[in-house]
Amino acid sequence: MAASVLRPRGRGGGGRGSLYAVLLMDWMESRGATLTLGHQALRLDLVSKVHGIQEAEEYFWSLPDKSKETYSCLLNCYGEHGMACKGLELYEKMKVMDIVPNTLVYNNLMTLYQKAGQPEKIPSTFEEIRESGITANNFTYFTLIESYIAMNDLEAAEKVLEELEKVAPVHWSLYTLMANSYIKLELFGKSEVALKKAEEVMDKAELLSILAIQPSKSFRSGNRGHYNGRTVFTYLPSSIWTNLMLPWHWRS
């Protein structure tokens, strides 16, 4: 096979593993194998990562039977490629087709509203999730709180976090998100309280992996996670850094 065929095209960012997986599925189909609906969704995601969104769209529309899984996957692909308008158009088609959304679909939809500069639509989407009896996860709450922050409604963001604290464990990223907002408003007392709460619940191993692997991307979205050029972790209580310096065999 020519080398040019193996080279990712478009805006894809998939690695060799994704590329080989696409090639394997191509080979399977060329031998007459029928991919399951789940495998079609997987292939769609891989094509988007390896070859770009245009080829992913072509693959999607070539499918004779499009499933909830493939629609949801394409919606996610649009979100990953920052194509808010196309994503929102697709969601409207899904509604017409009575495709019942799940947590992933709603999370993708909220992300698309965020990318489209329409944070005001995110709270009503969250209420729709509640009314549908669908379980929201940490990403859902993170995006909801971000939307209130974007609308300069810090009181509403605080209320969401307080309500969540009453019913479920809160991921430490939500506390650091609030801490960033407080720092930008020079509410350092509130920021310290939020960071201490993050310290109480954070997974030390997770923090280490973020700092070691992606120190420049820690909870960033634009300037999110930064204050005067430094990451929010600069403002973590000193006891966290002391614990992080413990010998590896003490870390558990």
Q: Determine if residue 98 is left, alpha or beta; phi over 0 gives left, psi from -120 to 50 gives alpha, anything else beta.
A: left
Place of tokens 């309280």: 193
* DSSP secondary structure, 26-70, as one string: HHHHHTTPPPPHHHHHHHHHHHHHHH-HHHHHHHHHH-SS--HHH
β 226-227/230-231 pair status: antiparallel
Predicted confidence at residue 152, as pLDDT, reads 95
Cβ atoms of residues 125 and 106 within 8 Å: yes
Domain boundaries, the chain: 36-100
Q: Quick one: which of 210, 194, 197 has its CA closest to 244?
A: 210
Predicted confidence at residue 88, as pLDDT, reads 92
Predicted confidence at residue 81, as pLDDT, reads 87
Predicted confidence at residue 154, as pLDDT, reads 96
68 to each of 27, 95, 101, 132, 159, how far by Cα in Å?
25, 11, 8, 17, 34
Predicted confidence at residue 100, as pLDDT, reads 83
**b or e along 95-118 (b: 16 or more beta carbons within 10 Å of the residue's beta carbon)?**
eeeebebeebbbbbbbbbbbbeee
**b or e along 30-69 (b: 16 or more beta carbons within 10 Å of the residue's beta carbon)?**
eeeeeeeeeebbbbbbbbbbbbbbebbbebbeeeeebebb
pLDDT in tens, the chain (252 residues): 333 333 334 444 555 555 666 666 666 666 666 667 777 888 888 888 888 899 999 989 998 888 888 998 999 899 888 899 999 999 999 999 988 889 989 998 999 999 889 999 999 999 999 999 999 999 999 999 999 999 999 999 999 999 999 988 899 989 999 999 999 999 999 999 999 998 888 876 666 655 554 444 434 333 333 333 334 444 444 444 444 443 333 333
What is the pTM (predicted TM-score) of this model? Answer: 0.68
Contacts of 221-230 with C-beta under 8 Å, sequence gap 24+, read 221/146, 224/146, 224/177, 224/180, 225/176, 225/180, 226/180, 227/180, 227/183, 227/184
The whole-angstrom distance between residue 17's C-alpha and the CA centroid of its chain comes to 21
Predicted confidence at residue 20, as pLDDT, reads 60
